[in-house]
Each structure stands twice: as C-alpha cells, then as structure tokens.
Amino acid sequence: DTVMDYDPFLMLDSFDSHNPTDYIKGFPIHPHRGIETISYLVQGEMTHQDSLGNKGTIRSGESQWMTAGSGIMHQEMPQASKHMLGVQLWLNLPQKEKMTDPTYFDITGNMIGSKKTDNAIIHVLAGEYDSIKGVEPPHIKGNYL
C-alpha cells in the first residue's frame, strides 16, 4: 500500500475518555505542513492557538478546520470534561495547493446543518447532503457528515 491508495485521507483518529488525566496534557506547539486537519467534538472542549495569532475554542458539537498549507505551528489543548469524545481527520492537500497560505476557523453550531431522520440526526459540517449545507471546504470539496 502507498499513500496514493488512500489520498486525500491521511489519518482518522478517534478519542474517547472519561478520565481527564488521559488527555489534558494536550498537544503543545507542533508543526504541520501540506495538510488540513479537521477536529470534531461530540462532547468536550478544546482550545486551538497557532503561530498566525489565531485562537479558538470549540465545544460539544463543534469543529475546528486548519489548513496548514506552507506551514504553521499550533497547539490543541483539550479541557477537562466529564467525557472527551471526538475525531480528527487529516486531509492531504492537492499538490498545487501544498504551499497555500495557512488558515484556521472554527465551525460553530450555527454553521452546521442538520437533518433528523427516522433513525438518526445527520450533522453536515462541510459540503452538502440532501439539500442541507455545512461550510464550504476551502480546498478539498467534499462532504463531512
């Protein structure tokens, strides 16, 4: 297998803990380049800060989207909560966009489209599903439900 077999998906990390000592040390300042990271919290709270001066906090049901592009230093610091539950997806930027300017934004609850079905509630963080819209992804035009 090569990365081409999975491109643009580089990593999907899930986290689930009821014990804050598992995660409160967080992820102190570290570099990224050439990718996008999308963090989604089902439950919990996490603060982001980066070398561009961006800072944000997401809470249950919210997301952070970071385009590392030409390079960025950032930190993600989960806050103690009863339950830390979420996922982080890393997307490989297309070759022609690897050196794009780094950016960051929070996807707050009012930006996330949702639809209730007989069996579930579908949240649309990015893209579109069944006429329900989330944010417009900056580089990889996909759906994140």
Which structure tokens are listed for 75? 């930190």
Give the rounded percent of residues in the chain with a pLDDT score beyond 70: 97
Asked if 73 and 29 count as a contact pair (C-beta separation under 8 A), the reply is yes
pLDDT at 142: 81
pLDDT in tens, 68-103: 999 999 999 999 999 999 999 999 999 999 999 999
> Count of CB atoms within 10 A of residue 95's CB?
8
**Is residue 124 over pLDDT 90?**
yes
Domain boundaries in the chain? Answer: 3-111
Q: Looking at the domain covering 3-111, what would its CATH class be?
A: mainly beta
Would you give the distance in Å from CA 71 to the centre of its chain?
Answer: 17
Separation CA 104–CA 97 (nearest Å): 16
Q: The pTM is what? A: 0.89
> Is omega for the bond preceding 8 within 30 degrees of 0, making it cis?
yes
Question: Mean pLDDT over all residues of the chain?
Answer: 93
Instruction: Tell me what the mean pLDDT of segment 27-51 comes to.
Output: 96
Query: What tokens appear for 90 in the block?
Result: 């890393």
**Residue range 10-24: mean pLDDT, rounded:** 95
Report pLDDT for 1. Answer: 63
Q: Which is more confident, 17 or 105?
A: 17
